[in-house]
Amino acid sequence: MKNSIPHSLQDIMKVTEEARVLSDSEVTCIIAKSVRETSEKIYKENVRSAARPERDLTSFLDNILTSPVTGYMCMALLLLAVFWITLVGANWPSSILFELLFAIESRFVTFLNACNAKEWFIGITVFGAYRSLAWVISVMLPPIAIFFPCFTLLEDLGYLPRIAFNLDTFFKRVGSHGKQALTMCMGFGCNAAGVVACRIIDSPRERLIALLTNTFVPCNGRFPAIILVSSLFLKASVFPTGGAGTTALWLLFSIFLGVAVTFIVSYVLSSTVLKGIPSAFAIELPPYRRPQISKVLVRSFLDKTVFVLARAAAVAAPAGAVTWLLANTYTQGTSLLLRLANALGPMGRLIGLDGFILTAFLLGLPANEIVLPILMMAYSSGGVMVDISSLSALHSLLVSCGWTARTALCFIAFSVLHYPCATTLWTVWHETQSFKWTVFSALMPLAVAFFICFLLAQGCAVLGIA
pLDDT digits over 415-436, tens only? 999 999 888 898 899 899 899 9
Same domain, 246 and 108: yes
Going by pLDDT thresholds of 50, 70 and 90, the confidence category of residue 18 is low
pLDDT over 80 at 404, yes or no:
yes
Same domain, 26 and 85: no
Same domain, 312 and 376: yes
Residue 269 lies in a domain: yes
Residue 28: its pLDDT value, please?
Answer: 53
Residue 188 lies in a domain: yes
Range of the domain at 27: 4-50
The total of structural domains in the chain comes to 2
Same domain, 110 and 28: no
| Averaged pLDDT, 178-186 | 82
Residue 369 lies in a domain: yes
Of 2-11, 66-75, 118-127, 315-324, the one with minimum mean pLDDT is 2-11
Same domain, 29 and 127: no
Same domain, 188 and 84: yes
Same domain, 90 and 43: no
Same domain, 13 and 155: no
Same domain, 74 and 46: no
Residue 20: its pLDDT value, please?
Answer: 53
Residue 142 lies in a domain: yes
- Cβ contact 186:163 at 8 Å: no
Going by pLDDT thresholds of 50, 70 and 90, the confidence category of residue 144 is confident
Q: Kindly report, residue by residue over 265-292, the tens digit of the pLDDT.
A: 999 999 888 887 777 666 667 777 777 7
Residue 55 lies in a domain: no
Residue 63 lies in a domain: no
Residue 64 lies in a domain: no
Same domain, 272 and 315: yes
Residue 25: its pLDDT value, please?
Answer: 46
Same domain, 37 and 128: no
Same domain, 24 and 81: no
Residue 62 lies in a domain: no
Percent above pLDDT 70 for the chain = 81
Residue 4: its pLDDT value, please?
Answer: 43
